[in-house]
C-alpha cells in the first residue's frame, strides 16, 4: 500500500496555505486564498477595493467587474513555494452600460512527488494539481454601488485521488469618484464538496472580508486596509520562546492586539497616472505565521509595480514569506476592444 494519504493531506492542507495558515487548520482548498492579481499580491495578498482597468482584480471581488472590462483578456503566472507553479486566464465582456460577465480558468500545479510503499521502496512518482473554473456577473445598482457574483467549479486530483466542489463569491462595492473612496464587502467561497477524496468531506475556506481604499488628499498615494478571516475573532499562532533557537519551546500568542492585527492587511500605492503604479503591502498574519520558521525582515511584506498603454498592461510582484521561499507573480492584460478600434 502506498504512503499517499499523508502526502495528499499535506498538499491539501499546507502546500497552499497563503491566506489560512497551517497553524489555523481545519480547511482544505486553501489555494482559493492565493491571489491571481500581481497588483493584489504586491499589496499584501488581500485587496477587494482597488478600482483599476485590470480584469485580474475581479478574482478578489466580483463587484469590481464592469462594462469597462469589455473584451479584456487577463493572463497570470505565479512561481510559488517549492516547485509549485500557478497560471490562469480570464476574459471579460460588457453586456450594457450597467452590467458585464467574465469567465476564467486557474491552474495550480504542485510538481511531482515520489511514491513509495509502506516499507519505503520507491514505486514511482505522481503529480498533484487543482483547477478552478469561474463565471462572474456584475450589475450597477446605482451610479456608486455595484454588486457581483462569481461561481467556481473546483476540480482536484492528487495521485489517484480526486474531488470536486462548487462555491460562490458575493461582492458589493461602493465607489465615490469625487473623493476617490472605495469600500467593499465580500462573502467568499460559500459552498462545499460534491465528491470527496476519502471518507470525510473537506470544508472550503469560506470568509467574510471588508475593505477600504482612498487617495490621500492632493496626492498620488492611495492607501488600503483589508480585513479578512472575519468568520472568527481568535487567530492564535505559535512562536519560539527564544527566537534565536530552533529548539526553544513554542508559546501561544492569542492577545487582543495580536488577533486584531492578524485580521488586517495594509497597503500603499503611488499612482501618478493611470499608466503606472508601484505598491507596497504588509500582511501581519503572514509574518506571524512564519514565526516558527525561517522568518526574516521581509516576511509579511510584498511589493509590486505595473505599467500599461491604452490596450496592453503588465504587472509584477515579489514577496519572501521566509528565507527559503521567494515568490514571484506576473500579470498581462490586453484590451481587444482597444486593438480593434
pLDDT confidence of residue 148 = 97
pLDDT confidence of residue 111 = 79
From the list 33, 84, 29, 31, the residue with the least C-alpha distance to 196 is 29
**How many angstroms separate the CA atoms of 327 and 250, rounded?**
27
| φ/ψ (deg, to 5) at 333 | -125, 150
pLDDT confidence of residue 297 = 67
**How many angstroms separate the CA atoms of 278 and 154, rounded?**
33
Q: What is the largest CA-CA distance in the chain?
A: 68
Residue corresponding to grid cell 450594457: 96
Q: What is the pTM of this model?
A: 0.86
**How many angstroms separate the CA atoms of 137 and 99, rounded?**
7
**Residue 341: how many other CB atoms lie within 10 Å:** 8
DSSP code at position 233:
S
Is the Cβ–Cβ distance between 31 and 13 less than 8 Å? no
Which ranges in the chain belong to alpha helices (H)?
5-10, 38-42, 256-262, 284-289, 336-339
pLDDT confidence of residue 292 = 63
**Residue 6 three-state SS:** helix
Tally helices (H) and strands (E) across the chain.
Answer: 5, 16
| φ/ψ (deg, to 5) at 233 | -80, -50
pLDDT confidence of residue 3 = 39
pLDDT confidence of residue 81 = 74
Which ranges in 43-167 belong to alpha helices (H)?
none
**Per-block average pLDDT, block size 10, for the chain (341 residues)?**
40 40 56 94 96 94 95 94 88 94 95 75 81 97 96 90 94 95 97 86 92 96 97 88 69 90 97 95 89 69 94 93 79 87 66
pLDDT confidence of residue 240 = 73
From the list 68, 145, 74, the residue with the least C-alpha distance to 104 is 74
**Residue 11: how many other CB atoms lie within 10 Å:** 23
Amino acid at each position: 500500500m502506498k504512503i499517499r494519504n499523508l502526502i495528499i493531506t499535506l498538499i491539501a492542507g499546507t502546500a497552499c496555505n497563503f491566506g489560512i495558515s497551517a497553524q489555523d487548520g481545519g480547511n482544505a482548498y486553501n489555494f482559493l486564498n492565493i491571489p491571481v492579481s500581481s497588483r493584489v499580491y504586491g499589496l499584501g495578498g488581500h485587496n477587494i477595493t482597488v478600482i483599476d482597468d485590470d480584469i485580474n482584480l475581479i478574482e478578489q471581488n466580483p463587484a469590481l467587474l464592469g462594462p469597462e472590462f469589455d473584451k479584456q483578456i487577463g493572463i497570470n503566472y505565479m512561481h510559488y513555494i517549492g516547485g509549485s507553479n500557478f497560471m490562469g486566464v480570464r476574459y471579460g465582456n460588457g453586456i450594457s452600460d450597467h452590467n458585464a460577465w467574465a469567465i476564467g480558468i486557474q491552474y495550480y500545479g504542485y510538481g511531482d512527488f515520489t511514491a513509495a510503499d509502506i516499507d519505503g521502496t520507491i514505486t514511482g512518482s505522481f503529480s498533484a494539481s487543482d483547477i478552478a473554473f469561474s463565471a462572474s456577473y456584475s450589475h450597477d445598482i446605482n451610479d456608486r454601488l455595484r454588486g457581483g457574483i462569481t461561481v467556481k467549479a473546483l476540480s482536484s486530483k492528487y495521485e489517484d485521488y480526486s474531488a470536486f466542489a462548487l462555491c460562490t463569491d458575493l461582492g458589493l462595492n461602493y465607489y465615490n469618484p469625487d473623493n476617490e473612496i472605495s469600500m467593499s464587502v465580500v462573502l467568499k467561497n460559500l459552498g462545499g464538496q460534491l465528491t470527496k477524496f476519502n471518507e470525510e468531506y473537506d470544508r472550503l475556506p469560506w470568509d467574510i472580508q471588508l475593505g477600504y481604499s482612498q487617495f490621500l488628499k492632493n496626492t498620488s498615494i492611495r492607501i488600503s486596509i483589508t480585513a479578512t478571516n472575519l468568520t472568527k475573532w481568535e487567530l492564535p499562532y505559535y512562536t519560539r520562546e527564544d527566537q534565536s533557537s530552533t529548539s526553544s519551546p513554542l508559546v501561544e500568542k492569542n492577545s487582543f492586539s495580536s488577533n486584531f492585527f492578524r485580521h488586517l492587511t495594509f497597503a500603499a500605492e503611488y499612482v501618478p497616472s493611470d499608466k503606472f503604479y508601484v505598491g507596497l503591502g504588509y500582511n501581519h498574519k503572514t509574518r506571524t505565521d512564519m514565526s516558527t520558521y525561517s522568518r526574516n525582515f521581509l516576511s509579511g511584506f510584498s511589493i509590486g509595480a505595473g505599467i500599461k498603454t491604452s490596450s496592453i498592461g503588465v504587472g509584477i510582484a515579489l514577496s519572501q514569506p521566509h528565507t527559503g521561499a521567494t515568490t514571484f507573480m506576473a500579470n498581462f492584460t490586453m484590451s481587444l476592444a482597444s486593438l480593434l478600434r
